[in-house]
Structure 1
Amino acid sequence: MQKYLKYIIPISIPLIVLLLPLSAFPFDGLTIIQQRVIAIFLLAALCWVFEPIPIYATSVVIIVLELLLVSNKGLYLFRLNEGQPHFGELLSYNEIMATFASPIIMLFLGGFFLAMAATKYRLDVNLARVLLKPFGSDPKFVMLGLMLITGIFSMFMSNTATTAMMLSILTPVIAVFGPKDPGRIAFALCIPVAANIGGIGTPIGTPPNAIALKYLVGDNYISFGEWMAFGVPFVVVMMALAWMLINFLYSADQKKIELSIKGKFLKTPKAIMVYITFTLTIVLWLMGSSHGMNSYTVALIPVAIFSLTGIINKEDLKKISWDVLWLVSGGIALGLALDKTGLARLVVHSIPFDAFSPYAVLFGAAFLCLVMANFMSHTATANLLMPIMAALGTSMASLTPLGGEITLILVVTFAASLGMSLPISTPPNALAHATGHVQSNQMAKVGVILGVVGVLLSFVLVWLLHAVGHIG
């Protein structure tokens, strides 16, 4: 019976919500369309938690259900009461379908093309080989070098791919440590920690960042370079704290190790084209809109160049993480429904948040996100919370002195990426745990400390940047 609960619960609860009369809900003025969005939201949340189907499939189901139940081109039977006051406004089917080709999706697609080309022409391994040379043979400094390289790669590549690559480089090195040497734990643990933290540094580093950008528009718009202006310092400080913490908890007995990475930079025309395009794309991103292009437009430049030159061919296209793109698009569609139907605002306005301290709201939202991110996908967590946080940020006047909506969104976004206490929390954690060198309790000890400290640090950083006028 227990194994069927993961199917029964996600289906039965949304169905019950759909069958309830509007008067059963604690919201004044709730419409039928909003009731349907509540049911879709609960279905998404429960499917992302229990995973009766793959999480990317849940995103596709969200989009299809929105098209059927709440769009102006949905099933006729679901539009019979259209025009009545209690029915609500239907969404445009164009807007729902457009989530598959949102600028956020294009930004990630550009990032995937860069990462694939870098891996295919060994740019990542060769950069690691060159950049690790200055760190010598002292285990603690070699570990620092590994963390910095992993963090840098994670800003522009998939955290999972970066972790897999770095762990493969490390395999012969970890074997040098004795079977009971804490250095085994330290080296196996430092890679996923650095990958999880490093992804915070750029808008394409991790899906929660891209989801946050969807809500940082208008006066709250943040360019690629502006994100890095606060993201990179945060990553550097967190990386330093993580390095010191891991060294303190799991200091290596071995006093000297040799890290041998074989390889050399390729000098073929296609490899040189990859180097030039990679550099050009990053420079254009860092220059913000001073050249007239936003980060979404720039992201398509490597897509065009690599496709035109055959650097990325049709076989490579099959290897793109389409599941991640679908997952993000489902979250965007969910946020669209919550926003356009007015449900997010209705829920937020029905709770007297202004009666609470703005600090309590900020920390409460961030730690709720942190806890959720430890037990479910970071992307799913951000998908569920971000539209509600955006509505809350605009409705709470007491948050304005602290940066308002932008502070709330950024702190929650950082919290989503800092959920890394368990092997199931992130794919990098799972890969590190699979090596057999790090146990769940050892991972939890480091993850909990870094998660709590990171949330507090993110609040301080974002507030300071707002105070000096760099954001918000």
Structure 2
Amino acid sequence: MKFSSSLKFNAVSEWWEEYIDYDNLKKKIYQLEKQQQSLSGSYQDLESNESTSLVGRQRHTDSVFIRLLDKELKKITLFYESQEEELLERLEKLEQEVQAQEEQGLEGDHYQDDFDDDDDDDESISRSPVGRRLSIGARRRRLSSTLSRNLPLIETDSTIQEGEALSPMSPASPRQHRHSISSDEGDMEDSYASLRGQGSLPRGPLGRLANMMNSVSSSMMPDTIWTAKSNYAYDTRLLYKRKITELFIALSSLRSYVEINYSGFRKILKKYDKVTYSELKDHYLHDVIENALPFTQPSKDRLNNAIDRLIDLYAKCVTKGNTSQARQHLKLTQRENIAWERDTVWRQMIAQERRGELSAAGGLGATLVKEPVPALLSIPTPLGTLRVTKRLLYLAIALLVFVVLLNVQVVDGREANRCFAILIFCTILWATEAIPLFVTSIMVPLLLVWLRVIRTSDGTHELSPQDATKFVFSIMFSPTIMLLIGGFTIASALSKTNIDRILITRVLSLAGTKPRTVLLAFMGVSCFASMWISNVAAPTLCFTLIKPILRNLPRKTSFAPCLILGIALAANIGGQSSPISSPQNLIALAAMDNPLDWGRWFAVALPVSAIQLLLIWGLLLASYRPSKAPDGEKEIEIRPIRATRESFTVKQYWVTFVCLATIALWCVAHAIEDYVGDMGVIAIIPILAFFSTGVLKKDDFEQFTWTIVFLAMGGIALGKGVTSSGLLDVMGDLIRDLVDGYSLYNVVLILSPIVLVISTFISHTIASVLLVPIAQEVGKGLGGNHQDLLIFITGLICSTGMGMPVSGFPNQTAATQEDELGELYLTNVDFLKNGIPASVIAMLVISTIGYLLMGAIGL
């Protein structure tokens, strides 16, 4: 969570204006960054005055930002000083009252004092974090306290003990349903219960014996105002319990106020140093912040000492000297107060943030009005109006086509005809996304089993539903799926330990300031990152890194859309570079008779990807001419990326070692398959290494993109269904007739554009699910065992469909990038003008150079 959001969630709402203005300081940092960049043009003679000019600019920026920090620090110091003085005075007054009450003993009369003095007390309480709520119910509590003198003495019941009343897990505790700070009746009941015993006693004979022993021991000691059982003693202890609790919450809130503001100064200074290349953090934090009143050690000691004194007072007045129990009671009350604050002020906002209902621009407090999905048609019904949306229409069409195909003999064989209906039905749902893609995939095994599509291995008769279920689920969780999960694990470990960012920033720091070299560097980094952390996360990371560059570019420069589109196209190319970089590669591997090891995959994919990257880089340079400024008179210079100064930790070295070892084993998997079995078994190594050593946690495992896993599983199941039902044999006969007389390379040239067009308009993964079985059957029809080559080409080309904004995750992410004014950097014209030629270039490279390399490795 960003610190600005964390600050809103954890701040005391009544003190909101007194916290560090983190958002405003962050905006000022970006303004100073722009000023710093603009001032660079005023220093022309860098040969003789380079050091002086750079130092002068930095000093100017530092002085401006220091003045802003000093203003915030002064505000925080003044507020803290007034709060500390007030709270410490209240503490001293409370200690004097307790001492006076103790001296008066059982003969005092605090009732009238409570009415007279609490008016002043309420005024001071109202300034505390919970004061507004406490002062509202103060008179009701005083009235209850006065009336309680006339109530009969309540005897202690052995079945209702203090431990039960105060336990946060007890179902009988009214505080679990009514916060003690806001509920007068619940507070009264809890307080009476807490003043009668010191712990839970066993029931039955042992409980009665313990009660009897307590009574004997109590009778031997003289009663005091803190131990007596009279109504007056109960009311006295209840009064001081309330006062101590209120002051404890106020002091704890002040201590939290100090900690949050210190974190705010540390975070904002770190961001300032990172953006402006300064070194202000250590100096200002240690020499200025830590010497200011709220952050000095004596101030912290005074607060901690005041809290300890309150705990001692609570132990004396409420828990009969038990300090441990007093601390437990006060912390419980503090947690309830925090829960109240979150429930009434922040919890709803957090829930909205998680559901995406808050505006990204306005942040918390700016509610995003969600536009309803437009309806194509509204039909009134007795149960209400039926809104026919586009998705509902697609779903209805898919169901209609499915029912028709089930009842019309389209292909020979009952099982083959039913499988054809399932194939068309799923294809329509996947292409239109009438329901989520992974839901369609999960539906595949259900349809295969219920429609009795699966046949025996010899194809003589259909399997029973029990046998078909075992068969379908056994092939769905295959070694290929385990390889996919292993890839997720490696990607998560690299991201969580920050290795990806460290390596990427170090590479980009060498890119220089020329637009063409910066573009090539980012495209190379995006492509390489997509090989290991998926082509979903890689462009997102790169888009984060280019934000400082985009902020300092002239308005309407062509370099911004050029850079964003280049990153997206490179990420698509990276999706074909390694077996785990995208699901379509794994689907292709699963369909091969002799799956490739990583070494042979790299022998083809890496040269092909490098050539594609260079050609598309040249295309973007020719199309955008990014070196020219908007006025066309001078070349723009890019602010260089600064390499991170972080050094590798032991954990990062461990992650790097495991990742490299796993990849090395994958590269030689065929040579050691007698020992390791399959690449899917090797994928277990990083899972064990990272989760068992604490590098990754259970939450990381839960955050894997399981929708992709189920999408791939459904695709594998459908492919096996097509084969088992006999539909593939029927398709094979038709395909053999179509390709009869064509050479292998001519088939490649015919198949490649078909795959490219389909993968441009639907998901790359879904395209591979549909087209890989066709490529497999085409290869069998040619003879000579070339199906693995066609499967490999199909899998690679599925990643090159990038001519539309919806073509693949990288394009979708790039299409949403906005400038500071909320305007999109890219339009549909950018994708059509550059994405389609890039797709054609990538396809031609695969069908020519890739084809030759595949022949060289024996396909």
Say yes or no: TM over 0.5. yes
User: How much has 1:291 moved relative to structure 2?
Assistant: 3.8
Aligned-partner Cα distance in 2 for 1:38–1:88: 16
Query: Aligned AA for 1:144?
Result: L
1:471 corresponding residue in structure 2: 858
How far the C-alpha of 1:86 sits from its partner, in A, is: 9.4
**Offset at 1:264?**
4.2
Residue 231 of structure 1 deviates from its aligned partner by 0.4
1:224-251 Cα shifts (integer Å, max 9, x gaps): 1110110000000000111111111112
Q: Equivalent residue of 1:57, what SS? A: helix
Match in the other structure for 1:5: 393
Moved more, 319-328 or 410-419: 410-419
Partner of 2:431: 49
Maintained 8 Å contact 2:732/2:777? yes
Distance 1:99 1:366 in 2: 28
Identify the structure with bigger relative contact order (alpha carbons < 8 Å, sequence gap 6+).
1
- After superposition, where does 1:97-246 map in structure 2 within 5 Å? 97-218=473-594, 221-246=595-620
Looking at structure 2, the residues matched to 265 and 341 of structure 1 have their Cα atoms a distance apart, in angstroms, of: 57
CA RMSD of aligned residues (A): 2.2
1:158 and 1:463, CA in 2 relative to 1: closer, same or farther beyond 3 A? Answer: closer
* Structure 1 position 175, deviation (Å): 2.2
Q: Where do 1:7-26 residues align within 5 Å?
A: 7-20=395-408, 22=409, 25=410
**Residue-by-residue CA offset, 1:105-148 (whole Å, 9 max, x unaligned):** 11110110011111111000000011123221111101111111
Residue identity opposite 1:129 in structure 2 = T
- Structure 1 partner of 2:625: 251
Q: Which amino acid is the alignment partner of residue 380 of structure 1?
A: I
Q: Is this contact kept in 1: 2:531–2:580, CA < 8 A?
A: yes
Q: Which amino acid aligns with 2:797?
A: A
Q: Does the CA-based 8 Å contact 1:147-1:194 persist in structure 2?
A: yes
Equivalent in the alignment of 2:768? 382
SS at match of 1:201: coil
CA distance in 2, matches of 1:430, 1:412: 22
For the residues of structure 2 that align with 1:266 and 1:345, how far apart are their CA atoms? 58
Structure 1 residues 322, 450: CA separation in 2 closer, same or farther (over 3 Å shift)? same
Which deviates further from its counterpart, 376-385 or 87-96?
87-96
Structure 2 SS opposite 1:263 = coil
Give the structure 1 partner of residue 812 of structure 2.
Answer: 430
Which is worse superposed, 114-123 or 348-357? 348-357
Contact 2:535 2:572 in 1 (8 A): yes
Q: Quote how far apart the aligned CAs of 1:151 are.
A: 0.8
In 2, the alpha carbon distance for the partners of 1:425 and 1:356 equals 34
**Percent of pairs with identical residues:** 27
Which amino acid in the other structure matches residue 309 of structure 1? T
Aligned residue for 1:92, secondary structure, equals helix
Instruction: State the AA in 2 paired with 1:364.
Output: I
Query: Structure 1 residues 190 and 275 mapped into 2: Cα distance closer, same or farther (>3 Å)?
Result: same
Most deviating of 263-272 and 101-110: 263-272
Deviation at 1:261, TM superposition (A): 4.6
Corresponding residue for 2:847?
459
Q: CA deviation at 1:267?
A: 4.3
What secondary structure, in the 3-state scheme, does the structure 1 residue paired with 2:771 have? Answer: helix
Match of 2:447 in 1: 65
Deviation at 1:285, TM superposition (A): 2.1
1:296 aligns with 2:680: yes
> Deviation digits for residues 235-288 of structure 1, max 9, x if unmatched?
000001111111111122243212335634464443332122122222222334
The residue correspondences of 1:323-472 to structure 2 (distance < 5 A) are 323-351=707-735, 352-355=737-740, 357-358=742-743, 359-397=745-783, 400=784, 404-435=786-817, 436-468=824-856, 470-472=857-859
1:273 aligns with 2:654: yes
Change over 3 Å in CA distance of 1:264–1:334 after alignment to 2: farther
Q: Secondary structure of 2:576's partner?
A: helix
Segments of 5+ residues of structure 1 without an aligned counterpart are 73-78
1:60 Cα shift?
Answer: 0.2
Question: Structure 1 residues 466, 433: CA separation in 2 closer, same or farther (over 3 Å shift)?
Answer: closer
Query: Which residue in the other structure is 1:285 paired with?
Result: 666
Provide the C-alpha distance between the structure 1 equivalents of 2:747 and 2:664, rounded to a whole number of angstroms.
Answer: 37
**Inter-partner Cα distance in structure 1 for 2:693 and 2:550:** 39
Distance across 2 between alignment mates of 1:407 and 1:226: 12
1:360 Cα offset (Å): 4.5
Secondary structure of 1:94's counterpart equals: helix
Letter in 1 for 2:763: S
Alpha-carbon distance between aligned partners in 2 of 1:285 and 1:87, rounded to the nearest angstrom: 39
Give the letter for the 1:18 counterpart: L
Per the TM alignment, residue 467 of structure 1 is displaced from its structure 2 partner at its CA by 4.0
Distance in 2, Cα, partners of 1:60 & 1:207: 16
2:468 equivalent in structure 1: 92
State the alpha-carbon separation in 1 of the partners of residues 697 and 645 from structure 2.
24
CA deviation vs aligned residue, 1:150-197 (integer Å, no higher than 9, x gap): 111111111010011100111121222222211011111111111000
Distance 2:572 2:814 in 1: 12
Tell me by how many angstroms 1:466 deviates.
4.4
Which structure's CA Rg is the greater one? Answer: 2
Answer yes or no: is 1:260 the counterpart of 2:628: no
What is the identity, as a one-letter code, of the residue corresponding to 2:654? M
- CA offset digits 1:402-460 (Å, max 9, x no partner): x7212321222122110011111111111111112121111222221121122222122
1:39: Cα distance to partner? Answer: 1.1
1:319 alignment partner in structure 2: 703
Instruction: For residue 639 of structure 2, give the secondary structure of its aligned residue in structure 1.
Output: coil
CA distance in 1, matches of 2:618, 2:755: 25
Check conservation: 1:410, 1:462, Cα contact below 8 A.
no
